[in-house]
Amino acid sequence: MIIKITNYPVGIHDLSFTKSVNELHLEEPFIDNLILDCRLDKSQHQIVLKCNLTISVKLICDRCGEEFNSDVNSKFSLIYLFDSSAPNIDETNVKFLALTEDRIDITDDVIDYANLSIPMKRLCSEDCKGLCLSCGTNLNLKSCNCETENNNPMWDKLLKLKDKLN
Ligand SMILES: [Zn+2]
Ligand SMILES: [Zn+2]
C-alpha cells in the first residue's frame, strides 16, 4: 500500500483504500477485504498519517465453539519527518524520509496493526450462553434438561433465604 506523497500538496487529505487480505498475504483469521481510511496531514517538515483500519475476521467463539464473522478495528498514527537531523526519537511510529522521497509504503504497518487487532477474547456475542457443561448442548440454540436440574436446588435455597430476610 503505497502513497505517492508528491501527489499531495501541503494540507489535509482524506484517503481511502480497499485491499483484499490475500493481496497483503494476511492469512486466517482474516477474510475478504480490509478498509483503510487515512487522514494525511502534510506540512513542510512532516507528514502525519492518522489511519483507521477495519478488517473482517472469522473467529471461533471461546464459549460455544461456533465459528462467527466479525469486524475488527484498529486506529494508528504514523509520523514521517523530512529531517533526519531531528533529535533522536525513540518511537516506532516515527520514521524519517529523505527529501527526495516521493512515496511512502505503509504495507508493513498495516499488516502489523491488523495482527494486533485480533481480539484476545473471542465471543460470538457478549451474551453468548456457551455450552452446557453436562451435555454439551449449545445453549444459544436450545436449552437442555440438565440446566434446570442443576440450578433449581440452589436457587430454591437462595429464594427461601431472601424471603426470610424480607
Ligand atoms: Zn458463542
Ligand atoms: Zn445439558
* d(CA 164, ligand 1 centre) in Å: 38
Grid coordinates representing 155? 436457587
* pLDDT digits 0-9 by tens, 152-163: 556 666 667 767
If you average pLDDT over residues 69-93, what whole number do you get?
Answer: 83
If you average pLDDT over residues 90-104, what whole number do you get?
Answer: 85
Are 40 and 7 spatial neighbours (Cβ–Cβ below 8 Å)? no
Single-letter residue type at 20 = S
Single-letter residue type at 18 = T
Grid coordinates representing 109? 504497518
* d(CA 139, ligand 2 centre) in Å: 8
Predicted TM-score (pTM) of this structure: 0.78
Residue 164 pLDDT:
74
* pLDDT digits 0-9 by tens, 20-63: 999 999 999 999 999 999 999 999 999 999 999 999 999 999 99
* d(CA 53, ligand 1 centre) in Å: 25
Burial group, residue 32, by CB count within 10 angstroms (0-12, 13-18, 19+): middle
Q: How far is CA 163 from CA 12, 102, 153, 159, in A?
A: 66, 76, 15, 6
Are 11 and 48 spatial neighbours (Cβ–Cβ below 8 Å)? no
Residue 69 pLDDT:
95
Question: What is the residue-averaged pLDDT of the chain?
Answer: 88
Which helix (H) or strand (E) segment is 59 a member of?
A: strand 46-60
Single-letter residue type at 66 = E
- Residue 5: pLDDT band (50, 70, 90) is very high
